[in-house]
Amino acid sequence: MRKKHLLAATILMMACMSVSAQTTAEWPWDFPMSTGEQLTDGELILAPYTYYKVAIDDKEDLMRKGLIFYKTNLETAGAEKSVVNFMEDYELPNSLIIGLPEGATAKKGDILLTWWQSGSGMKRAIVRDDSNPAEPKVDYLDMDMRLDNDGAISGFAESHANEQLKPNSFIVLHDGEWAPGAQVACKNERGEWNAATLIKATEDKVLVSGFSSRLSAYSKSDCRLIPMSDEDMKAGDPVWGVWVGTYQSGYTVDKVDKERGRVWVTDSRGNQKILSILEVTKVLD
């Protein structure tokens, strides 16, 4: 009799584990699948629609999977999930979908959420030329800019500078708003400040894309919005700078290029590098 009870308990436990695994595979984050997003059939969106489906089909751990956001069109909007297409129609949780509004305009110095339009993948960019506000020319902030040994600037950000955006392809970001695309620092279990891009937020939770494009959920109280202005930085100021996905202290400002949204900094070992304005801050404690 005891063996029968033990066998029944084991089967029940395995069944519960199976249900739990299925739920985790689809949505492992402590964040709602939808935050009441206003999505529209056919609209242009940013979403990890390729990587998410492959991960689900292959039963991969989404917590460890890089989920790169690409642009595509929404097929059918739903309350919690919406239909997109990658090889076939399937449902994607709305919290992984960022709608791009029609008719957006931008002015010089604005920071935008868009994608690399001569390549792919979600990016933030700063407006350099607003002579056509609906199709501004931008420099990408989420691309590498570096100094060569001879002091010359190189990297993807430099080689793709002053790129013109398509109409209806961006969101204008604003300081102090917990909106998709905002730069945040979130304190992890080791007390470090992880650098991340905000995907969605509720009153008390955030879903972010961090190092290697992995998604994480945090309590909003553990996160700080990073100002998108230069915070009146000047040469000699001590600041935090991003290194391998975390904000670290010990940097000193060398110079600030406001038009390009870049800050030259030197670390405690005397190494100089160029960071985007989103990777440098004075606000962390």
Q: Which residues of 255-280 are buried (b: 16+ CB within 10 A; e: fewer)?
A: ebeeebbbbbbeeeeeeebbbbbbbb
Query: What percentage of the chain reaches a pLDDT higher than 90?
Result: 85
Question: Which residue blocks in 139-281 are alpha helix, DSSP H?
Answer: 156-159
Burial class of residue 237 (count of CB atoms within 10 Å of its CB; 0-12, 13-18, 19+): middle
Identify whether the C-beta of residue 145 lies closer than 8 Å to the C-beta of residue 155. Answer: yes
Classify residue 108 as exposed, middle or buried by CB count within 10 Å of its CB (0-12, 13-18, 19+).
middle
Q: Where are the domains of the chain?
A: 29-99, 111-172, 183-225, 238-281
Predicted structure pTM score: 0.90
* 8 A C-beta contact, residue 104 and residue 170: yes
Is the per-residue pLDDT at 5 higher than 70?
Answer: no
Question: pLDDT per residue over 38-73, tens digit each?
Answer: 999 999 999 999 999 999 999 999 999 999 999 999
Question: CB of 250 within 8 A of CB of 243?
Answer: no
Average pLDDT, the chain: 91
Distances 269 to 35, 43, 162, 273, 285 between C-alpha atoms, Å = 44, 48, 33, 12, 22
Q: State the DSSP string of 52-96.
A: HHHHHHTT--TTTSB---EEEE-SB--SSEEEEESSSEEEEEGGG
Give pLDDT, residue 187: 97
| CB neighbourhood size of 176 (10 A) | 9
pLDDT at 19: 34
- As a whole number of angstroms, the distance between CA 246 and CA 279 comes to 9
The predicted pLDDT at position 45 comes to 98
pLDDT of res. 22: 37
Give pLDDT, residue 222.
Answer: 97
Q: Where residue 219 falls among pLDDT bands split at 50, 70, 90? A: very high
How high is the pLDDT of residue 255? 95
- 146-178 pLDDT, tens per residue? 988 887 899 999 999 999 999 999 999 999 999
Architecture of domain 183-225: Roll (2.30)
Same fold, 29-99 and 183-225: yes
Contact 199, 215 (CB under 8 A): yes
Q: How confident is the model at residue 3 (pLDDT cuts 50, 70, 90)?
A: very low
Averaged over 264-278, what is the pLDDT? 95
Between 207 and 7, name the one with better pLDDT.
Answer: 207
Amino acid at 172: V
- CATH fold group of domain 29-99: SH3 type barrels. (2.30.30)
pLDDT bucket at 24, cuts 50 / 70 / 90: low
Cβ-proximal residues to 4 (8 Å cutoff; 6+ apart), any chain: none
Is 50 exceeded by the pLDDT of residue 184?
Answer: yes
DSSP notation for 115-159: E-TTS-SEEEEEEEE-SSTTS-EEEESSS--EE-TTS-EESHHHH
The 8-class DSSP code of residue 101 comes to -
Indicate the pLDDT class of residue 14, thresholds 50, 70 and 90.
very low
pLDDT in tens, 81-107: 999 999 999 999 999 999 999 999 999
Place of tokens 């969101």: 171
Residue 151: what pLDDT? Answer: 78
Segment 248-274 shows an average pLDDT of 95
